[in-house]
Amino acid sequence: MLFKCIFNKLGEPYEGSTEEKELLSSLTALDLRWLPEVKCIWKGPTGHVSLQNLAHLDLNSLHKLTFIFKPSLARSLPKLESLSISECGELKHIIREKDGEREIIPESPGQDDQASPINVEKEIVLPNLKKLSLEQLSSIVCFSFGWCDYFLFPRLEKLKVHQCPKLTTKFATTPDGSMSAQSEVLLI
Protein backbone atom coordinates (compact mmCIF):
# COMPACT_ATOMS: atom_id res chain seq x y z
CA MET A 1 0.00 0.00 0.00
CA LEU A 2 1.36 3.41 -0.99
CA PHE A 3 0.52 6.40 1.20
CA LYS A 4 0.00 9.69 -0.61
CA CYS A 5 -1.39 11.64 2.35
CA ILE A 6 -0.96 10.90 6.06
CA PHE A 7 -4.01 12.68 7.56
CA ASN A 8 -6.88 12.92 5.08
CA LYS A 9 -9.91 15.18 5.64
CA LEU A 10 -9.35 15.57 9.38
CA GLY A 11 -11.50 18.67 9.63
CA GLU A 12 -14.67 17.06 8.35
CA PRO A 13 -17.14 16.04 11.08
CA TYR A 14 -18.10 12.39 11.30
CA GLU A 15 -21.50 11.59 9.87
CA GLY A 16 -24.19 12.07 12.50
CA SER A 17 -21.79 13.82 14.90
CA THR A 18 -22.57 17.25 16.28
CA GLU A 19 -19.69 17.29 18.75
CA GLU A 20 -16.75 19.51 17.87
CA LYS A 21 -13.46 17.95 18.89
CA GLU A 22 -9.92 19.11 18.39
CA LEU A 23 -8.39 16.22 16.54
CA LEU A 24 -4.78 15.26 17.30
CA SER A 25 -4.66 17.61 20.29
CA SER A 26 -2.94 14.91 22.40
CA LEU A 27 -0.23 14.17 19.82
CA THR A 28 3.21 15.01 21.29
CA ALA A 29 5.57 13.54 18.68
CA LEU A 30 5.30 12.75 14.99
CA ASP A 31 8.11 10.90 13.21
CA LEU A 32 7.58 10.13 9.52
CA ARG A 33 10.38 8.34 7.63
CA TRP A 34 10.89 6.63 4.31
CA LEU A 35 7.52 7.40 2.78
CA PRO A 36 8.69 8.30 -0.74
CA GLU A 37 5.19 8.69 -2.26
CA VAL A 38 3.69 10.98 0.42
CA LYS A 39 2.70 14.29 -1.18
CA CYS A 40 1.00 15.87 1.84
CA ILE A 41 0.70 15.39 5.56
CA TRP A 42 -2.61 17.26 5.97
CA LYS A 43 -5.33 17.07 3.33
CA GLY A 44 -8.77 18.62 3.49
CA PRO A 45 -10.15 21.10 6.02
CA THR A 46 -8.15 21.49 9.23
CA GLY A 47 -10.61 23.60 11.20
CA HIS A 48 -10.99 21.01 13.95
CA VAL A 49 -7.33 19.99 14.07
CA SER A 50 -5.02 21.24 16.79
CA LEU A 51 -1.37 20.41 17.30
CA GLN A 52 -1.25 22.27 20.61
CA ASN A 53 0.78 19.53 22.35
CA LEU A 54 3.08 18.55 19.49
CA ALA A 55 6.63 18.90 20.81
CA HIS A 56 8.70 16.95 18.24
CA LEU A 57 8.26 16.73 14.48
CA ASP A 58 10.78 14.68 12.50
CA LEU A 59 10.37 14.24 8.73
CA ASN A 60 12.89 12.22 6.75
CA SER A 61 12.83 10.94 3.17
CA LEU A 62 9.37 12.10 2.16
CA HIS A 63 10.59 12.75 -1.36
CA LYS A 64 7.35 14.09 -2.90
CA LEU A 65 6.26 16.31 0.00
CA THR A 66 6.02 19.98 -1.13
CA PHE A 67 4.92 21.69 2.11
CA ILE A 68 4.26 20.71 5.74
CA PHE A 69 1.63 23.00 7.27
CA LYS A 70 -1.38 25.00 6.23
CA PRO A 71 -1.48 28.38 8.01
CA SER A 72 -4.13 27.34 10.55
CA LEU A 73 -2.00 24.39 11.72
CA ALA A 74 1.14 26.49 11.92
CA ARG A 75 -0.67 28.74 14.41
CA SER A 76 -1.39 25.78 16.72
CA LEU A 77 2.22 24.85 17.65
CA PRO A 78 2.88 26.51 21.03
CA LYS A 79 4.79 23.53 22.48
CA LEU A 80 6.89 22.60 19.45
CA GLU A 81 10.47 22.10 20.71
CA SER A 82 12.13 20.26 17.84
CA LEU A 83 11.59 20.47 14.08
CA SER A 84 13.85 18.30 11.97
CA ILE A 85 13.39 17.93 8.22
CA SER A 86 15.78 16.07 5.95
CA GLU A 87 15.95 14.51 2.51
CA CYS A 88 12.56 15.77 1.33
CA GLY A 89 13.60 16.54 -2.23
CA GLU A 90 10.46 18.35 -3.43
CA LEU A 91 9.79 20.34 -0.23
CA LYS A 92 9.53 24.03 -1.19
CA HIS A 93 7.93 25.63 1.89
CA ILE A 94 7.28 24.80 5.53
CA ILE A 95 3.96 26.67 5.46
CA ARG A 96 1.96 27.15 2.30
CA GLU A 97 -1.48 28.02 1.13
CA LYS A 98 -2.95 25.01 -0.60
CA ASP A 99 -2.58 25.27 -4.37
CA GLY A 100 -2.85 29.04 -4.33
CA GLU A 101 -6.13 29.10 -2.38
CA ARG A 102 -6.11 31.65 0.41
CA GLU A 103 -6.96 30.25 3.79
CA ILE A 104 -8.82 32.93 5.70
CA ILE A 105 -7.82 33.08 9.34
CA PRO A 106 -10.09 34.98 11.73
CA GLU A 107 -8.59 37.97 13.45
CA SER A 108 -9.51 39.05 16.96
CA PRO A 109 -12.99 40.56 17.00
CA GLY A 110 -13.02 44.22 16.09
CA GLN A 111 -14.91 47.09 17.62
CA ASP A 112 -18.15 45.85 16.16
CA ASP A 113 -17.61 42.36 17.66
CA GLN A 114 -17.49 40.87 14.19
CA ALA A 115 -14.57 38.62 13.29
CA SER A 116 -12.83 40.15 10.32
CA PRO A 117 -11.00 37.86 7.91
CA ILE A 118 -7.37 38.51 7.14
CA ASN A 119 -5.31 36.91 4.44
CA VAL A 120 -1.75 37.61 5.55
CA GLU A 121 -0.06 37.38 8.92
CA LYS A 122 3.09 39.41 9.36
CA GLU A 123 4.71 37.29 12.08
CA ILE A 124 4.54 33.88 13.71
CA VAL A 125 6.22 32.96 16.98
CA LEU A 126 7.23 29.41 17.89
CA PRO A 127 7.79 30.13 21.59
CA ASN A 128 9.33 26.82 22.65
CA LEU A 129 11.30 25.79 19.57
CA LYS A 130 14.80 24.81 20.75
CA LYS A 131 16.09 22.82 17.76
CA LEU A 132 15.60 23.55 14.06
CA SER A 133 17.32 21.31 11.54
CA LEU A 134 16.95 21.60 7.77
CA GLU A 135 19.17 19.17 5.86
CA GLN A 136 19.48 18.06 2.26
CA LEU A 137 16.41 19.94 1.06
CA SER A 138 17.32 20.65 -2.56
CA SER A 139 14.07 22.46 -3.43
CA ILE A 140 13.25 24.45 -0.27
CA VAL A 141 12.87 28.14 -1.09
CA CYS A 142 11.47 29.69 2.08
CA PHE A 143 9.67 29.05 5.36
CA SER A 144 6.36 30.39 4.18
CA PHE A 145 4.85 31.26 0.84
CA GLY A 146 2.00 33.71 0.57
CA TRP A 147 1.14 33.82 4.27
CA CYS A 148 3.83 35.00 6.66
CA ASP A 149 7.30 36.33 6.05
CA TYR A 150 8.72 36.68 9.59
CA PHE A 151 9.27 34.00 12.24
CA LEU A 152 10.55 34.39 15.78
CA PHE A 153 12.13 31.60 17.85
CA PRO A 154 12.81 33.04 21.35
CA ARG A 155 14.27 29.81 22.80
CA LEU A 156 16.19 28.42 19.83
CA GLU A 157 19.40 26.77 21.00
CA LYS A 158 20.44 24.79 17.91
CA LEU A 159 20.04 25.76 14.26
CA LYS A 160 21.34 23.53 11.49
CA VAL A 161 20.88 24.38 7.81
CA HIS A 162 22.84 22.07 5.51
CA GLN A 163 22.58 21.54 1.75
CA CYS A 164 19.58 23.79 1.12
CA PRO A 165 20.91 25.65 -1.95
CA LYS A 166 17.69 27.50 -2.89
CA LEU A 167 16.73 28.68 0.60
CA THR A 168 16.14 32.44 0.63
CA THR A 169 15.06 32.69 4.29
CA LYS A 170 17.61 34.65 6.32
CA PHE A 171 18.33 33.85 9.98
CA ALA A 172 19.43 36.53 12.43
CA THR A 173 19.60 37.29 16.14
CA THR A 174 17.23 39.96 17.43
CA PRO A 175 18.32 42.61 19.97
CA ASP A 176 16.78 40.57 22.81
CA GLY A 177 18.76 37.45 21.81
CA SER A 178 15.94 35.59 20.07
CA MET A 179 16.50 33.96 16.69
CA SER A 180 14.43 35.19 13.78
CA ALA A 181 13.87 34.01 10.23
CA GLN A 182 12.69 36.27 7.45
CA SER A 183 11.67 35.06 4.02
CA GLU A 184 12.73 37.13 1.07
CA VAL A 185 10.06 37.69 -1.54
CA LEU A 186 11.48 37.33 -5.04
CA LEU A 187 9.63 39.37 -7.66
CA ILE A 188 9.86 37.88 -11.12
| Residue 105, in any domain of the structure | no
- Per-residue pLDDT, averaged over 78-82, amounts to 95
| Residue 107, in any domain of the structure | no
- Per-residue pLDDT, averaged over 76-96, amounts to 92
| Residue 142, in any domain of the structure | yes
Total domain count, the chain: 1
Q: What ranges in 33-166 are assigned the alpha helix state H?
A: 71-74
On whether the CB atoms of residues 97 and 68 are closer than 8 A, the answer is no
Give the pLDDT confidence score for residue 97 in this predicted structure. Answer: 63
| Residue 108, in any domain of the structure | no
Beta-bridge mates of residue 64? none
On whether the CB atoms of residues 49 and 77 are closer than 8 A, the answer is no
Residues 8-54: tens digit of each pLDDT? 444 444 444 434 456 677 889 999 999 988 888 876 555 667 788 99
Residue 140 reports pLDDT greater than 60: yes
| Residue 5, in any domain of the structure | no
| Residue 65, in any domain of the structure | yes
In this structure, how many other beta carbons lie within 10 angstroms of the beta carbon of residue 85?
22
- Please give the model's pTM, rounded to 2 decimal places: 0.75
- Per-residue pLDDT, averaged over 166-181, amounts to 89
Residues 43-75: tens digit of each pLDDT? 655 566 778 899 999 999 999 999 888 877 887
| Residue 58, in any domain of the structure | yes
| Residue 14, in any domain of the structure | no
Q: Residue 64 sits in which domain range? A: 22-98+118-182
Give the pLDDT confidence score for residue 8 in this predicted structure. Answer: 47
Pairing of strands 142-145, 93-96: parallel
- Per-residue pLDDT, averaged over 99-118, amounts to 38
